[in-house]
């Protein structure tokens, strides 16, 4: 005889929700007039950052000594976050453009 037979239906739903993995989100960062908006983002491991470039210039999301995501003119670029860390990035073409992603464990 299973435990589910003795639990009320609401408890079963709560147990199922607690054991289900969190869904990854897509977090959008707009690139417009040489600015990342929002400049600071909080995310979880597995989430995707999507930069949407509304400028007439290409941009990058570059980490000094690390990754670089190219963000073409009038297009989007994506990055799936792999580990908990703080990511400070800038545009290699326009170094005054800066952003920060704080990634936490799911």
Q: Within 10 Å of residue 65's Cβ, how many Cβ atoms? A: 5
Burial (CB < 10 A; 0-12, 13-18, 19+), residue 47, is buried
Is residue 71, in this structure, part of any structural domain at all? yes
Per DSSP, the three-state class of 89 is strand
Domain extent for 53? 22-104
- Alpha carbon 54 to chain centroid distance? 19
Rounded to the nearest 5°, which phi and psi values hold at 54?
A: -100, 0
Is residue 10, in this structure, part of any structural domain at all? no
Retrieve residue 1's tokens: 């005889």
Q: How many domains does the chain have?
A: 1
| pLDDT tens profile 42-91 | 999 999 999 999 999 999 999 999 999 999 999 999 999 999 999 999 99
| pLDDT tens profile 77-87 | 999 999 999 99
Is residue 11, in this structure, part of any structural domain at all? no
- What CATH number has the domain bearing residue 62? 2.60.40.420
């Amino acid at each position: 005889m299973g435990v589910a037979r003795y639990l009320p239906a609401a408890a079963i739903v709560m147990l199922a929700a607690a054991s289900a993995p969190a869904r990854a989100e897509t977090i959008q960062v707009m690139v417009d007039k040489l600015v990342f908006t929002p400049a600071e983002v909080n995310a979880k491991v597995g989430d995707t950052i999507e930069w949407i470039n509304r400028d007439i210039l290409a941009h990058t999301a570059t980490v000094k000594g690390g990754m670089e995501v190219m963000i073409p003119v009038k297009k989007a670029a994506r990055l799936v976050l792999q580990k908990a860390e703080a990511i400070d990035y800038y545009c290699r073409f326009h170094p005054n453009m800066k952003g920060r992603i704080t990634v936490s464990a799911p």
